[in-house]
Amino acid sequence: MTVADLFMVIAVFCIWSLLLVNIVLIIAGYLYYMEIEQKDAPTIKGYIPFVTIMIPAHNEGKVLLPTVESLLALDYPHDRYEIIVINDNSSDNSAELLAGLQHKYKSRNFIIVNTDNIVGGKGKSNALNIGFKQSKGELIAIYDADNTPEKTALRYLVAEIMNDDSLGAVIGKFRTRNRDASLLTRFINIETLSFQWMAQAGRWKLFNLCTIPGTNFLMRRSIVEEIGGWDVKAIAEDTEISFRIYMMGYKIKFQPKSVTWEQEPQTLKVWFKQRTRWAKGNIYVIVKNAPLLFNRSAKNIRFDIVYFLSIYFLLLTSLLLSDLLMLLYAFGIVYTTIAGFSFLLWIFAIVLFVISTFITLTTEKGEMSLSNLFLILLMYVTYSQLWLVVAAYGLYNFIKDTIFKREVKWYKTERY
């Protein structure tokens, strides 16, 4: 066996191990979806808690008003929730638009917090900490500024957490509101359903683990108070706070019946900036929590730590190594005796990717179509391969920010 063969075997083994883990999560997630479909929606029994909904926003004038109005129209009792919009150092017309909306709904619990560049403008975590100081709710819900939650979204989250004291937080899911805007948004729609929500469902089914997304989730006020709020150094503040909730002994449950619709990037440039920011944020969380692997009290969450470490380091390295070896082999620079076998495994991996991804779409009405089947195949050879660049660039930015101690700031995702 040549040195190239050895490296190829190691890379293929790592890739296939993670592929099989993903298939197991998809199967478990599919079973969880079927289980939820057969049950009635959760209901609040007895006492109705007061909820604070926070919306952190920076230059979100294009999308902010529909979001606030959809939250004001929730079917949760109107005297049992408040809405706090943190208009964080915005330079657009957000303040004027919000003032007009506040006047229109002056009989409601609707609070606007306008910050300047001294106390604000330091990212989502800082904005949430500012808003939390003004909140009164015993439960805290977060929605992004571009969201349109369904009327039942909040009620389902509250019902879940009030019916189970072991839950520290409950997450719903977000769907792609502008999925037909471009080929990119159609890819994002499939990615969200398959690799975000099916994996969340599978991790809950198998390990009672879920990671909080950036929007459409609910947590106990006592948790935020005990942990001292959001980590202002964390870009992926949702993933970061999830691990702290785990370490308090709470579970985070996924309730797929709670749905919000959000706007996704419509151009590759905007998407790339957003995703490299997410990758950098998740790498920060991984590095911060990696020592928990050796902490006995963290044994229940070791799967998540290993899972994230594997995705952002092991999978990234293995894919780059495999691609490099195949490229060098094609140009005759290195020789490997298993190139043909590796090629067959690659074809088999594509088939498994297409089939497993398509199966996840069967859980959503209107998504199981022949066009989506072809999109998944195209997605593998285009969109999915871009993940390598995103993860590598995110790692590079994380290292650079760590060395130069750069302060966390808002990154403005372009709205449409």
The radius of gyration computed from the CA coordinates of the chain, to the nearest angstrom, equals 22
User: CB 278: neighbour CB atoms within 10 A?
Assistant: 19
CA–CA gap between residue 395 and residue 402 (Å, rounded): 11
Residue 338 has a pLDDT of: 67
- Give the residue-averaged pLDDT of 176-184: 94
CA–CA gap between residue 72 and residue 83 (Å, rounded): 8
List pLDDT tens digits, range 200-226: 999 999 999 999 998 999 999 999 999
- Give the residue-averaged pLDDT of 168-193: 95
Q: In whole numbers, what is the pLDDT of the chain averaged over residues?
A: 90
Q: CA torsion, points 238, 239, 245, 246, in degrees to nearest 10?
A: 160
Tokens in use for 182? 């471009």
Contact 393, 320 (CB under 8 A): no
Tokens in use for 392? 């590598």
Contact 60, 112 (CB under 8 A): no
**Can you list the pairs that 318-327 forms with residues at least 24 positions away whose Cβ atoms lie under 8 Å?**
318/10, 318/11, 318/12, 318/14, 318/15, 319/11, 319/15, 319/388, 320/388, 320/392, 321/7, 321/10, 321/11, 322/8, 322/11, 322/12, 322/15, 323/388, 325/4, 325/7, 325/8, 325/11
Predicted confidence band of residue 261 (pLDDT cuts 50, 70, 90): very high
Paired sense of beta strands 51-57 and 139-142, if any:
parallel
User: CB 142: neighbour CB atoms within 10 A?
Assistant: 24
* 339 vs 148 pLDDT, higher one: 148
For residue 405, is it left (φ>0), alpha (ψ between -120 and 50) or beta? left
Contact 177, 263 (CB under 8 A): yes
- Check pLDDT > 90 for residue 416: no
The set of residues, in sequence order, having a beta carbon less than 8 Å from that of 96 and lying 6+ positions away, is none
- Check pLDDT > 90 for residue 388: no
CA–CA gap between residue 183 and residue 187 (Å, rounded): 6
CA–CA gap between residue 63 and residue 68 (Å, rounded): 9
Q: 55 forms bridges with which residues in the sheet?
A: 85
* Cα 246 from chain centroid (whole Å): 17
Q: 51 forms bridges with which residues in the sheet?
A: 81, 139
Could you tell me the pTM of the whole model? 0.90
Q: 142 forms bridges with which residues in the sheet?
A: 54, 217
Residue 360 has a pLDDT of: 87
- Check pLDDT > 90 for residue 355: no
Residue 4 has a pLDDT of: 75
List pLDDT tens digits, range 2-58: 777 787 788 878 888 888 888 899 999 999 999 999 999 999 998 999 999 999 999
Half-sphere exposure of 326 (CA within 13 A, CB side): 17
* CATH 3.20.20.140, applies to 46-269: no
* Cα 33 from chain centroid (whole Å): 18
User: To which H or E segment does residue 243 belong?
Assistant: helix 237-247
Tokens in use for 330? 């094609």
φ, ψ for residue 146, nearest 5 deg? -105, 20
Predicted confidence band of residue 250 (pLDDT cuts 50, 70, 90): very high
Contact 411, 271 (CB under 8 A): no
Helix axes 302-309 and 268-289, enclosed angle (nearest 10): 130
CA–CA gap between residue 12 and residue 19 (Å, rounded): 10
Length reported for the chain: 416
Question: Sign of torsion, CA 198 364 170 254?
Answer: negative
- Give the residue-averaged pLDDT of 377-390: 88
- Check pLDDT > 80 for residue 229: yes
List pLDDT tens digits, range 102-153: 999 988 999 999 999 899 888 999 999 999 999 999 999 999 999 999 999 9
DSSP calls for 115-166 = E-TTTS-S-HHHHHHHHHTT---SEEEE--TTEEE-TTHHHHHHHHHHT-TT
- Give the residue-averaged pLDDT of 275-284: 91
